[in-house]
Chains A and B, each alone.
Chain A
């Protein structure tokens, strides 16, 4: 394995990280939106969201990606590997995020919401100024956990042809007939990223339990 090969894997890493970041950034607000629809118990739409979340949580990302990549062009929606990857990541992670947000919303003390109503705040103000600032810290560990899970499934993007870490590693393995070294390099890139997120999650949880203990 040459230095150029390692450089190729790192180039793949940039693709992986970029796609993950896009997935996370789009998935967070969509997840919140889905959670709000369920929380507000919007008729029909709430049921649809519940089914969507249940189904997406059960669907392996590979299967979802293959479905998007092959089936959407069939009905006239052009799909590049990258757009299929982003769509798949967003769909999957938003379903998981929805559950994290929703459990924070369900546990939100009702009397606070009523107090905001009683001082005349409108729905938007109540949500932005009272609810959101409190559910964000509660949801944070779960959301970070979901981020690390998302990063861990990104190797599957290679299946639809995205030239990410994994595809670069597979290609080098096939060229050199030495698959082990490129895979080890790939793992060496993944481990610190996931480890950092896992540590971040533990740190947030520890800080919050300490803050609760002091309160």
Chain B
């Protein structure tokens, strides 16, 4: 089967909030192992696209497939109930802009909570895996700390490890570094870069142009809810097809050259 490589297929998704059309007819295919960066000015619908993929927002039109399986609508063509939706959501990891760690649980418990409670995997196994993940993001010594005691960069690394603990087929990042102080951005990007190298399938909404240019396998440029352009980062940043993309890149040019604003 030629289709088996395709992890995510977003086909013609639209979403409006009241009179405001946030996404119009956006499509995106992501193959296994790809790192797709979604770029665009603020308010262009990037986050909404991400939130539609795991149905935190219910799209008004279009289809979403995860490994060939329809998200949000069951075989009978009816909107899925909470149970079916949650089953699919466990296969899509998500990293949030403001970390969204659970404040009442320790770092280790944050990693173990959903695998044990939702996926019902054996506790000992989950624990070993969680400790390995914490070691991977360099936070082994923080495993018994509460999120409130961590720096922003540490919180977000826990956020990434927590998403990985679900063994997801696909990882979504919603502006993972935009709530961080500039000096803390690097430590999170290092982890994300490593995941890209390992072949994790990821869709990343970001304003980090330098990261997009050298870590993404592909970029998708959104503007006013429309997918304006998609292609390799080299081509997008050096020779964009559209005027809008050109303007956007120009505005962030310093970012690409200098690493960060």
Asked if the two chains touch in their complex, CB atoms less than 8 Å apart, one says no
